[in-house]
Chains A and B, each alone.
Chain A
Amino acid sequence: MGGQVATDQELTLVPSVVPAPHDRRGAVSAFFSAKRKTRLAMLLGAPMLWLVLAYLGSIAVLLLSALWSTDFFTGNITHTYRLDNLREVYTQSLYRTVTLRTITVALVVTLLDVLLAFPMAFYLSKVAGPRLRKVLLVAVLTPLWASYLVKAYAWRSLLAPNGPVSWLTGGHTPGYGLTATVITLAYLWLPYMVIPVFAGFERVPRSLFEASADLGAGAGRTVRSVLLPMVFPAVAAGSIFTFSLTLGDYIAVGIVGGKTQLLANVIYGQLVTANNQPLAAALATVPLIAIVLYLLLMRRTGALDNI
């Protein structure tokens, strides 16, 4: 597997190695090479500026503002540096409970998506014929064309006390709450899991199955010893999307979550209800750290080469 990745990289490197021209037109080529640098600068300038200023810059401002405080009566921000907010966030039991709940929801959503995406992607890649595969791939991607809100509200109607789920199950709808939140989020992020896992299966040559069968392995053994290890990095890559998207979600929870709240709701509450931007910024470090830790964990699986 590692070898395969290495060859891929070499392959992509080859076209960029252009032999230097050794002829009289040195000056011209120098001009062109200078121009190429300009071109490169122009090409990469805007994205780099965006990455450094708009993205990393805003995170830096966020972390900085976590050290400020708010005058509660007038709601104005006091620009003195204190660590009260961070201390509060990392010591209060309220935030610990919500953090634990959020991470649990994120993990459950990820697990559900893996369980759903794995057979779907396998069927798409290895079983379905070319025409059916195209149709199914479109079907997987179509929900992404609909607005997030529409889909969340659709689940709100589905799970309503007098809604279709209640009708189908004879009144056993989970109602609005944590279960509804998990179902809705798992539905919303499913395409982000199916696509990388499908790509992972595409890279597994069919001949390996034959080899495995020739060597006497049954279907279960083939899945366990051949398929799973090869597709695992792709699953891990998909899980980065489902995990981080869930950590940051507050809208779906607001729509189907009943009275439950996740970390992002608390952040929203501090920002909008309490008008305490510094504390909200301090709270925002929690998912930030969780995602960094998760990425570090996933890097070991080789997932980052699969995104």
Chain B
Amino acid sequence: MRRTLRTCRTYLALISAVAVLVACGSSTKTATPGTKGLAPPKISAATSVGSGEGALNIVVWAGYAESGANDPKVDWVHPFQTQTGCKVNAKIGNTSDEMVQLMKSGQYDGVSASGDATLRLIYGGDVAPVNTSLVANYASVSSFLKNGNWNSVGGQMYGIPHGWGANLLMWNPSKVTGAQDSWAAVFSDADKYKGKVTAYDSPIYIADAALYLMATQPSLGIKDPYALTSAQLDAAVSLLKQQKADIGEYWADYTKAVQAFESGTSVVGTTWQVIANTINADGKTKVKTVLPKEGATGWSDTWMISSKAKHPNCMYQWMNYIVSPEVNAQVAEYFGEAPAQTAACQHTSDKSFCDTYHALDAAYAAKIHYWTTPQKQCVDNSGKDDCTDYAQWVDKWQQIKS
């Protein structure tokens, strides 16, 4: 009996402790600063590149640092190692958020960051400015990728552009009949493939829904899928909640996406070209991809060097190597994206590759809505500041998935 009483008292103490903690909290939420009036921490760029330190730890998107492990013929890491003596240790990041998190650990020398990670890394002081004169191959990189608002601040480059491309619609033609040309396949028509639809598991996927609404519901007035007012965000969220009923599973890990399509768990959804290539190379299942008529979200990736890099010389050598014409062509063809290096177009095995991906077409590149971190200060250059920020997107994404 006494033991029971004591236990009860312990419960009460615990519960009241929690209640007190919760009740005492103040309700002010930390404000999220925009880029306006904010300067990145002062970090100086390298002035020279010495000989390699013997190792290189990088965070990469799947398919950016192939060492022949997935396909013996696809290997540009080993030639780099023999050339420079830098042993490459590549860690795959599944989402931009994961990449930012990994870079914050300070254990990596560099990262292939997309536009929704770059500014966070720059303003967080996690990456250092890049002295582009130390990267010989930078000169012939497409000019529309230089000094972009996602990879530079005040005319100072914070990385070397790598390549760009669009998030595509992928489907399994044996399960999904007809040629697809619209994102409606995963939104308004998704119930046709109930339980077999897949979507990218990241808050940034909200932009895909916003893009679809931009084309189908002009009355909402969405001009940029990353600059959403609260009302516009809510519309995108309700579309995604509706979509969730038809989702089989979300993917973030690209191997999971490959396996889901091969096993028939998913038959239609958003993808990267590299995933489609992997599935078609395995040959168990055949898939098709398209850039739908509504346009697409996409990425523009930049190699950045950590402000705490332990092997800065190796990282500079890697940045120069990966945008060299031959290697950039190889990566771009393997991943299925437009190479940043203009000279790469002469080195692709498929001579029409650069035309297919519009690699040199600045006007086409402008049509893709590149991943950008949503901020209160609208990212559509309208000068308004009534937009929803990434923290709100994260909250909404959690609600959609709960």
- Whether the pair B25, A73 counts as a contact (CB closer than 8 A) is no
The answer, yes or no, to whether A273 is at the interface (CB within 8 Å) is yes
Cα A285 to Cα B120 in complex, Å, equals: 28
Report the minimum CB–CB distance from A123 to chain B (whole Å): 35
- Whether the pair A94, B402 counts as a contact (CB closer than 8 A) is yes
- Whether the pair A72, B3 counts as a contact (CB closer than 8 A) is no
Given A161-B264, A273-B95, A83-B25 contact (CB < 8 Å): yes
The answer, yes or no, to whether B242 is at the interface (CB within 8 Å) is no
- Whether the pair B373, A73 counts as a contact (CB closer than 8 A) is yes
- Whether the pair B32, A71 counts as a contact (CB closer than 8 A) is yes
The answer, yes or no, to whether B265 is at the interface (CB within 8 Å) is yes
- Whether the pair A82, B25 counts as a contact (CB closer than 8 A) is yes
- Whether the pair A292, B14 counts as a contact (CB closer than 8 A) is yes
Q: 1/0 per residue A190-205: CB within 8 Å of B?
A: 0000000000000000
The answer, yes or no, to whether A86 is at the interface (CB within 8 Å) is yes
Within 8 A of A (CB), among B28-69: 28-30, 32-35
- Whether the pair B263, A160 counts as a contact (CB closer than 8 A) is yes
Q: 1/0 per residue B17-31: CB within 8 Å of A?
A: 010011111111110
Residue numbers in A under 8 Å from B394 (CB-CB): 72, 273-274, 276
Within 8 A of A (CB), among B350-402: 373, 375, 389-391, 394, 397-399, 401-402
Given A73-B120, A83-B25, A293-B14, A272-B264 contact (CB < 8 Å): no
Report the minimum CB–CB distance from B37 to chain A (whole Å): 13
Which of B73-81, B96-104, B151-159, B185-193 binds A? B96-104
In this complex, how many residues of chain A approach chain B with their Cβ under 8 Å: the count is 47
Within 8 A of A (CB), among B242-257: 244, 247-250
- Whether the pair A98, B265 counts as a contact (CB closer than 8 A) is no
Given A274-B97, A289-B14, A78-B30 contact (CB < 8 Å): yes
Residue numbers in B under 8 Å from A162 (CB-CB): 263-264
- Whether the pair A75, B21 counts as a contact (CB closer than 8 A) is no
Most buried by A among B26, B32, B35, B249: B249
Chain B residues touching A, majority SS: helix
Report the minimum CB–CB distance from B17 to chain A (whole Å): 9
- Whether the pair B264, A83 counts as a contact (CB closer than 8 A) is no
The answer, yes or no, to whether A248 is at the interface (CB within 8 Å) is no
- Whether the pair A75, B14 counts as a contact (CB closer than 8 A) is no
- Whether the pair B22, A160 counts as a contact (CB closer than 8 A) is no
Given A71-B33, A72-B390, A259-B244, A83-B97 contact (CB < 8 Å): no
| Smallest CB gap from A162: residue in B | B264
The answer, yes or no, to whether A176 is at the interface (CB within 8 Å) is yes
Cα A271 to Cα B25 in complex, Å, equals: 21
Given A69-B30, A259-B247, A274-B97, A75-B120 contact (CB < 8 Å): yes
- Whether the pair B249, A72 counts as a contact (CB closer than 8 A) is no
The answer, yes or no, to whether B123 is at the interface (CB within 8 Å) is yes
Residue numbers in B under 8 Å from A285 (CB-CB): 18
**Contact partner, B32, options A73, A82, A83, Cβ 8 Å:** A73
Given A94-B399, A300-B7, A74-B22 contact (CB < 8 Å): no
| Smallest CB gap from B19: residue in A | A90
Most buried by B among A91, A162, A266, A274: A274
The answer, yes or no, to whether A287 is at the interface (CB within 8 Å) is no
- Whether the pair A258, B249 counts as a contact (CB closer than 8 A) is yes
Cα A306 to Cα B28 in complex, Å, equals: 48
Residue numbers in A under 8 Å from B104 (CB-CB): 75-76, 275
Residue numbers in B under 8 Å from A163 (CB-CB): 263
Residue numbers in A under 8 Å from B263 (CB-CB): 157, 160-163
Binding site for B on A (CB under 8 A): 69-76, 78, 82-84, 86-87, 90-91, 94, 97-98, 156-157, 160-163, 175-176, 257-259, 261, 266, 269-276, 285, 289, 292-293, 296, 299-300
Binding site for A on B (CB under 8 A): 3-4, 7, 10-11, 14, 18, 21-30, 32-35, 95, 97-98, 100-101, 104, 119-120, 123-125, 195, 202-203, 244, 247-250, 259, 263-265, 373, 375, 389-391, 394, 397-399, 401-402
A-B contact pairs, 24 of them (CB 8 A): A71-B33, A72-B30, A72-B390, A73-B34, A73-B35, A73-B124, A74-B124, A75-B120, A82-B26, A83-B22, A84-B26, A84-B27, A90-B18, A90-B22, A94-B398, A157-B263, A161-B265, A175-B248, A176-B249, A273-B203, A275-B101, A289-B14, A293-B14, A296-B10
What 9 A-B pairs are tightest by C-beta distance, nearest first? A83-B25, A74-B124, A87-B25, A72-B391, A274-B394, A160-B263, A273-B97, A258-B249, A161-B264
